[in-house]
């Protein structure tokens, strides 16, 4: 199976490279996501059996001031990729986010639930989803949440950095979701890709997140526990930690259909966290 992957340095892309180094990974220099036509041309130019878009604008707060740029990268570019893949009859897999929802309630979101982004980032990702669906090819949109790994910037690495210099931290406790290791997302994408390549699977939107669901504060406590850092975590409400972009309070994702169609279950993020901490040399 020949894989064409958009993204080279992001958390999921690096984990994909670890698992399938023979795949073709396109960096920004090779496929600028702010140029949708160039992305389409890359799909047309390179031989592939499945295309995966693991690249995105992920700076949630910066998107509030750069909505047009985020819209190009997260909205228009995936649409162009998907249309080019559809024209070649190639399955297209696209990573999306819990930010397409408004975060209301406490019930886990199912893929069919109404969307309602709270900010520019979520809207740009929703625009991308809609463009992928409209492309007319075989596709799977994989929404995920709270991504972490040993690469790049993420909550785990931030907590480790702060935990080494402080004995107490205030962490938001009224936002709840499923922390998800980038390695687990990569593994899920590969399972989906192989299923589509073999002629199986069903086009649609799917959810994938680590279990169990927790608050950011409880996520932080587990990070410190496993890393052996004696840090007191103080629960605070979202209002006490204002950010330019609003975050969804409820990021729980119902992953039932992902298991039913692809046989992919929810991984225990605590186990995945152990692996990441070992890779970082923290345990």
Residue pLDDT, tens place only, 225-264: 999 999 999 999 999 999 999 999 999 999 999 999 999 9
| Percentage of the chain modeled with pLDDT above 90 | 99
Give the three-class secondary structure for 166.
coil
pLDDT of residue 174: 98
pLDDT of residue 173: 98
Residue 231, Cβ neighbours under 10 Å: how many?
A: 21
* Residues 24-39, mean pLDDT to the nearest whole number: 94
Angle subtended at Cα 156 by Cα 153 and Cα 161, rounded to the nearest 5 degrees:
80
Angle subtended at Cα 131 by Cα 115 and Cα 41, rounded to the nearest 5 degrees:
150
pLDDT of residue 223: 98
Measure the CA–CA gap between 58 and 80, rounded to whole angstroms.
Answer: 19
pLDDT of residue 200: 96
Verify whether residue 99 is a known catalytic residue. no
* Residues 270-282: tens digit of each pLDDT: 999 999 999 999 9
Measure the CA–CA gap between 45 and 40, rounded to whole angstroms.
Answer: 9
| Percentage of the chain modeled with pLDDT above 70 | 100
Q: Which domains does the chain have, with CATH numbers?
A: 3-153+179-210+252-267 (3.40.50.720)
**Which of the residues 99, 121, 206, 241 is marked catalytic?**
121
Residue 149's pLDDT band (boundaries 50, 70, 90)?
very high
Residue 195's pLDDT band (boundaries 50, 70, 90)?
very high
pLDDT of residue 237: 98
pLDDT of residue 19: 98
């Amino acid at each position: 199976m020949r894989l064409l992957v958009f993204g080279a340095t992001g958390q999921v892309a690096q984990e994909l490279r670890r698992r399938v180094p023979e795949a073709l990974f396109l960096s920004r220099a090779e496929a600028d996501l702010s140029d949708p036509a160039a992305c389409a041309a890359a799909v047309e130019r390179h031989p592939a059996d499945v295309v995966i878009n693991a690249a995105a604008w992920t700076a949630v707060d910066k998107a509030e001031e750069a909505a047009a740029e985020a819209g190009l990268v997260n909205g228009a570019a995936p649409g162009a990729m998907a249309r080019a893949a559809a024209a070649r009859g190639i399955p297209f897999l696209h990573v999306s986010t819990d930010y397409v929802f408004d975060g209301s309630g406490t019930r886990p979101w199912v893929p069919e639930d109404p969307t309602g982004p709270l900010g520019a980032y979520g809207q740009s990702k929703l625009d991308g989803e809609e463009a992928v669906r409209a492309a007319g090819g075989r596709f799977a949109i994989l929404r995920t949440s709270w991504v972490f790994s040993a690469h790049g910037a993420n909550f785990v690495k931030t907590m480790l950095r702060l935990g080494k210099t402080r004995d107490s931290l205030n962490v938001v406790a009224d936002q709840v979701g499923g922390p998800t290791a980038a390695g687990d997302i990569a593994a899920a994408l590969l399972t989906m890709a192989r299923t589509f390549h073999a002629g199986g699977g069903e086009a649609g939107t799917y959810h994938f997140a680590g279990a169990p669901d927790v608050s950011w504060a409880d996520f932080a406590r587990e990070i410190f526990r496993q890393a052996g850092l004696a840090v007191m975590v103080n629960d605070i409400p979202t209002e006490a930690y204002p950010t330019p972009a609003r975050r969804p309070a409820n990021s729980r994702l119902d992953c039932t259909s992902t298991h039913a169609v692809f046989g992919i279950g929810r991984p225990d993020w605590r186990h995945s966290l152990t692996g990441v901490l070992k890779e970082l040399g923290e345990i």
